């Protein structure tokens, strides 16, 4: 399946962080990993991937928390809204993603899969008809995303 980026705008609750980006709106995913659960304070984090190099902030940038060796999570320093997972290495920028709720028009996003479904909370049921990948599938997931979204393969 070929995915085309769409130009979108978004931001945090208080409006201090505003961004524009080209995102793959039809390829959102629900991450049930325990880091996303802690980071959002919610059962899962739902995000869409940003086309590499297209995320631009108007005004304030988010504050970042380095949550893993490969990525940092950006949030508004004023209101706390989670905005972005940003790859640390520039060559991994094609994995950068924004939270679906930070989009100005989140209803336009479409979720295509679950990831880290092994830690999905047993009482949290959403989009149950979609494919579920587990932590053990992480390498396959990266390969999938690379094939679907990375510009030059």
In the complex, the smallest distance separating the C-beta of residue 99 from Zn ion, rounded to whole angstroms, is: 11
Binding mask 19-48 for Zn ion (x = CB under 5 A): ------------x-x--x------------
For Zn ion, the binding residues in 75-114 under the rule CB under 5 A are 76, 78-79
In the complex, the smallest distance separating the C-beta of residue 138 from Zn ion, rounded to whole angstroms, is: 10
In the complex, the smallest distance separating the C-beta of residue 91 from Zn ion, rounded to whole angstroms, is: 21
Q: Which residues pair with 141 in a beta bridge?
A: none
Bridging pattern class, strands 63-66 and 6-11: unpaired
Q: Which residues pair with 75 in a beta bridge?
A: 63, 82
CA angle 47, 110, 29 (to 5 degrees): 35
Q: If residue 140 lies in a helix (H) or strand (E), which one and from where to where? A: helix 138-149
- Binding residues for Zn ion (CB under 5 A): 12, 14, 16, 31, 33, 36, 76, 78-79
């Amino acid at each position: 399946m070929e995915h085309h980026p769409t130009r979108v705008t978004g931001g945090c609750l208080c409006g201090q962080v505003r961004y524009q980006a080209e995102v793959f709106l039809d390829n959102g995913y629900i991450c049930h990993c325990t880091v996303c659960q802690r980071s959002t304070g919610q059962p899962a984090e739902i995000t869409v991937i940003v086309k590499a190099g297209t995320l631009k902030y108007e005004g304030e940038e988010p504050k970042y928390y380095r949550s893993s060796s490969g990525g940092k999570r950006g949030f508004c320093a004023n209101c706390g809204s989670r905005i972005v997972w940003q790859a640390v290495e520039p060559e991994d920028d094609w994995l950068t993603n924004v939270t679906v709720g930070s989009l100005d028009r989140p209803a336009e996003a479409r979720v295509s899969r679950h990831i880290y479904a092994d830690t999905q909370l047993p009482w949290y049921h959403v989009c149950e008809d979609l494919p579920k990948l587990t932590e053990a599938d992480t390498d396959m997931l990266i390969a999938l995303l690379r094939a679907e979204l990375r510009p030059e393969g």
